[in-house]
Amino acid sequence: MTVIRSRHNRRMHRFPRLPLPVLLSTFALTACTGIAPRMSPAERAGVHVEVPAIQRPQGETAAWWFRDGAAQAAARGAMAGRAKNLILFVGDGMSLTTVAAARILEGQRHGGSGEEQRLSWEDFPATALSRTYNTNSQTPDSAGTMSAMATGAKTRLGVLSIAQTAARGDCAGARAAPLLTLWELAAASGMATGVVTTTRVTHATPGATFSHSADRNWESDAEMPEAARAAGCIDIARQMIESPFGNGPDVLMGGGRMHLMPATQRDPEYTDKVGARRDGRDLVGDWLRRHPGGQYAWNAAQFHAAPDDKPLLALFEPDHMQYAHDRPRDGAGEPTLAEMTRAAITRLARDAEGYVLLVEGGRIDHANHSGNAYRALDETIGLSDAVRAAIEMTSADDTLVLVTADHSHTLNFVGYPVRGNPILGKVKGAGGEDGSPGKFALDALGLPFTTLSYANGPGYAGASDRQPEGPKRYEHWVEGVKPARNGRPDLTDVDTEDPDYLQESLYPLKSETHGGDDVGIWARGPGSEAVRGNVEENTAFHFLLQANPRLRAALCAKGLCDANGVPVTLPAPGDFKPR
């Protein structure tokens, strides 16, 4: 096992330093060792933070959410953490059902019955449940949920790292209500930062780290209404590259290069595609100029050849990266999420002050939206491989790793299948609490059914303008859907384990929806013992923040902490920009 211990590593490059006397006294507490001792009973009991009683939801504000999240983390003992490095893994749309089904699929691929398999994070010592609702939506979206985890305050559906006072699409409101993110705070405090995803790097989850937008879809200037541009709003891609906090992301990997390329520039991989930007900006060039010696890669060969002691920008597709299942058909080649995670940690760990890293398995969500359980589970297994890589490269003594999802999906796991039944297959077994374990279970119409199904989405049996009545196949864009005249299809001779099979859905939608149920949080490293119980999603930010002495000290130096040193006051982003 390779363990990167940052005290032996040289700096990747210099970062601006905050003149924070508080840092000195804070670090003096842990100067002799990076090892965080197991919590004493007193520490586990935590620190009490007063939270004002309000009428909910009308009394909720960003400041209240921030203090309430701080209270939840501090009460559980997060302030006892002494983590130098912070890694947040987000399985986008990774419901608990998706986790359970993915573990079984991985186990069955290894020749086991599957149920006993454990994904890499399921061996972590700490777990909690996270409530994912947005401030204006019972069932959330990825923009509002990641904003909660990035800023410590919940917000609306569809916006990125701004307070809930601004409505979606309200440029002026968004400009008046930005929320400081953990990645911005880290960059401004001299730490290295990284963002790794399988989606476009400007998509909702990665976009929430270094941008503030009234609409998650404003990924380039071409996606913005003229009124928003005239009012001074800047697209997400520009904000990610031009961030005033430190040098912005030192490592940025994923897809979505079209949003960083001018419309006059042809894509290097697909001759029929060009950049999306209308303003003529070459943001790849801008990033390279901002990071002297930094490398840009758009294919696997360039990625593997890039020096590991320099900043890295890697954009492997004009749009999202390929699904893992489809990656072999990519002529230019793409790395796995695990390979990107290793590359990010190798570079970031060279910084003596530590790092904050986001790794997103973003296409779990997309496959669930498509009603395709095979790809959703396969992408989840890919995320598990990435988490395993991070565990192998870091030490639990100085690196806090959190694994969670931003929201759920409507994937169902049902039907009393026998032990070891193929998770993507038809149910063999009782089908009820009585029955014959050797035959297909049958519904009340006498038809077999699968273990996995969706409550809604493109797998509905009725005919559409694109596919006839009956079982559906990936990728099915639902248009002109008609009622299923013959009811459920007979799946007896249908290969439901085929990667392109779409699980049945109860009612038709072009895109399967998110779910509103809680998701899991799994944690390992300094401060992880605080991760327990049932918490609001924005508490994930405070688990990370409170476990890192440097970031805590940066906020305390601005007078944002209580008498116990807990950051409880919502920080103003402008206070952390260079003067």
Residue (of 432, 516, 452, 490) closest to 139 by Cα position: 516
Nearest to 531 by CA among 43, 523, 130: 523
d(Cα 232, Cα 226) in Å, to the nearest integer? 10
Q: Do 142 and 204 contact (CB within 8 A), yes or no?
A: yes
For residue 287, the 8-state DSSP code is: H
CA 476, distance to chain mean position in Å, is: 25
> Of all helices (H) and strands (E), which one includes residue 456?
strand 452-457
Distance, CA of 6 to CA of 76 (rounded, Å): 28
120 is an active site residue: no
Residue from 439, 443, 466 nearest 453 by CA: 443
Catalytically annotated residue among 95, 142, 384, 464:
142
Q: How far apart are CA 64 and CA 536, in angstroms?
A: 13
Contact criterion met (CB below 8 Å) for 406 and 431: no
What Å distances lie between residue 498 and 20, 214, 363, 441, CA to CA?
58, 40, 19, 20
Query: Do the Cβ atoms of 371 and 496 come closer than 8 Å?
Result: no
Find the helix or strand (DSSP H, E) in which 99 lies: helix 96-109
**Which tokens hold the place of 577?**
């920009």
Compute the distance between CA of residue 139 and CA of residue 95 in angstroms, rounded to an integer: 13
**Cα 460 to the center of its chain, rounded Å:** 29
Report the 10 Å Cβ neighbour count for 86: 29
Tell me how far apart the alpha carbons of residues 505 and 460 are, in angstroms, rounded to a whole number: 5
List % helix, strand, coil for the chain (3-state, nearest 5).
30, 15, 50
Pairwise CA distance, residues 12 & 320, whole Å: 28
> What are residue 429's phi and psi, to 5 degrees?
140, -155
Residue 289 tokens read as: 């100029």
**Cβ–Cβ contacts within 10 Å for residue 412, how many?**
19
Q: Which residues are catalytic?
A: 142
